[in-house]
Amino acid sequence: MSEHLLLLIELQKDDLKTVRINSKKRELPEKLMKLEEAFQTFSSSLEDERKHLNELYKIHREKENKLKSGQDNLSKAKDRLFEVKTNKEYQAILKEIEAIETKRSDTEDEIIACLDEIDHREKALKEKEQEFKEYRIRYEADRRKIEEDIANLDAELVAAQQKIREIRKQLPESILRKYEMIKGLNNGLAVVSVWKEVCNGCHMNIPPQLYNDLQRSADLLSCPHCSRIIYWNSQGKDG
């Protein structure tokens, strides 16, 4: 393989690398933002659950107080039964006692329902907290990785650009022009391998004579279908 072709293969590798790095420079900060958003969403839903549970504890305390004051009212009403003078008064207090007892029974039912919900929510919260703990470890590792990648991108880009400059210095202007022109026509891919008479750029068959030349000639040859500069890949794979 000619020296120029080897340089072109290298040049293309580094050109593609800068394209990849630049697209990562756009994508990674966005990925980081999405990761942080998802974390915030999880975190605040956990906080909502805790608030809700605290509300329930408060409601439970209030109902217990209500039950207790109902109990006091009941004792007082029962005491008054002994002080009444008339049957009418007696009946009125009995009615009052009945009302207090009904109310107390309702409150008791409400307390049971409230405790059930507290129990249910406590279990759910515990599970969610465990889930969050594991999620947080993954999140922090992912975030560190992305932040490191972002920090490395600039250095990688500078290195690739430096290598491109060095390679270009070693290539004649005419070949560079040809390379740039073909690259412009083919979405950035100007140099491709050919394996078993198939061009890796357009996946079309190249004529057998050209395939033979490709294996022997030191000239720069092009695919007749896509015009890309081609080289013979004796391994059957790129790279």
**Chain residues that interact with Zn ion, rule: CB under 5 A:** 199, 201-202, 223, 225-226
- Look up residue 146 and give its amino acid: I
Q: Which is nearer to Zn ion, 18 or 227 (CB)?
A: 227
C-alpha to C-alpha distances, 102 to 88, 92, 140, 206, 216, nearest whole angstrom: 21, 16, 55, 95, 104
The secondary structure of 211-233 as a DSSP string is HHHHHH--S-EE-TTT--EEEE-
Q: Which is nearer to Zn ion, 182 or 226 (CB)?
A: 226
Q: Which is nearer to Zn ion, 100 or 226 (CB)?
A: 226
State the nearest-atom distance from the C-beta of 4 to Zn ion, in Å. 19
C-alpha to C-alpha distances, 208 to 112, 200, 212, 225, 227, nearest whole angstrom: 87, 16, 6, 14, 17
Q: Which is nearer to Zn ion, 172 or 236 (CB)?
A: 236
Structure tokens at 140: 């922090």
